[in-house]
Amino acid sequence: MSKRIGFVGVGRMGANMARRLHDLKYPVTVVYDINQKVAEEVAKEIGAEATTKLARVTELADVIFTVVSDDAAMYKIFAKNGDSLLIGAKGKIFINTATVSPKTHIEIGKLCEEVGAEAIEACMASSIPQARNGTLYFMLGGKKQVIDEVEPILKDMSSSRRYCGELGSAAKVKALVNMVMNINTAALAEGLGLAKALNLDLNMIREVFSQTGANSRVLETDGEDMQNREHTCFFSAEHALKDSGIALNLAKEAGLNLPLAQATYNQYQRLVKKGFGQYDKSAISELTFPDRHGLDKD
């Protein structure tokens, strides 16, 4: 019999991961979200139970995916006291997908071991469409034998997987991925913003960029959106700020100065303060185009 699967966090990513597994006939038995209405909607769609208790998730599932926002949320759902995923968790496997600091993954892993459970990292370098169609890219960390045990599930959710090492390793790799992605996004916004200020045709500029050293994955995903001010959220500016902060903290611990990462962090911090935190990261272009918010005084 297939392992029963639960989800904690069924926002844009978690919901589509749950839908994908449901489509493949996996027994997704229970979902939880701080937004109960969202949980109920997803549960109704996939035939799962929507619970308001974390302990109920652990009771009804053998493998639990956690898809939460930040370090604080991770510690809350794995609390030592009160309602928690750790209650009755012996023998359960937690697949933690959130982009949080490496030390959080390590500490959560220790808490799980104390109650006889296992935790692994499955950090994702993909977005909502990939979650829905099963083409996520997973960076995996933790005990290899535990990852091997849930490999069939992960395989059906992804196009590729990379084992990074012990618990905490995948979070380090993910921090680097998002740091570079965010720098590229900020750089593209500046390039297109300057092109606009120089009265150049932006369609032409994007085509030239695509054929030269200015090309990037971000150009493909965000270039046209920046030009058209289409900032429907696939990866929020708020998350870009958080993730750049994780990378900067790692750099500080390593004794490195990363001026580009710091400048990008500062730009996203400015963007969030202007009220664009829930917009897509492409909204950073609002700070660089001459006819937009970049000319406002902070």
Which residues are catalytic, by number?
A: 174
Euclidean distance between CA atoms 33 and 243, whole angstroms? 22
DSSP letters spanning the chain: -PPPEEEE--SHHHHHHHHHHHHTT--EEEEE-SSHHHHHHHHHHHT-EE-S-HHHHHHH-SEEEE--SSHHHHHHHT-SSSS-TTTT-TT-EEEE-----HHHHHHHHHHHHHTT-EEEEEEE---HHHHHHT-EEEEEES-HHHHHHTHHHHHHHEEEEEEEESTTHHHHHHHHHHHHHHHHHHHHHHHHHHHHHTT--HHHHHHHHHTSTT--HHHHHHHHHHHHT----SSBHHHHHHHHHHHHHHHHHHT---HHHHHHHHHHHHHIIIIITTSBGGGGGGGTSTTTGGGS--
β-bridge partners, 152: none
Would strands 93-96 and 63-66 be described as parallel, antiparallel, or unpaired? parallel
| Residues belonging to the chain | 298
> Please, are residues 246 and 101 in contact by the beta-carbon 8 Å criterion?
yes
Euclidean distance between CA atoms 130 and 122, whole angstroms? 14
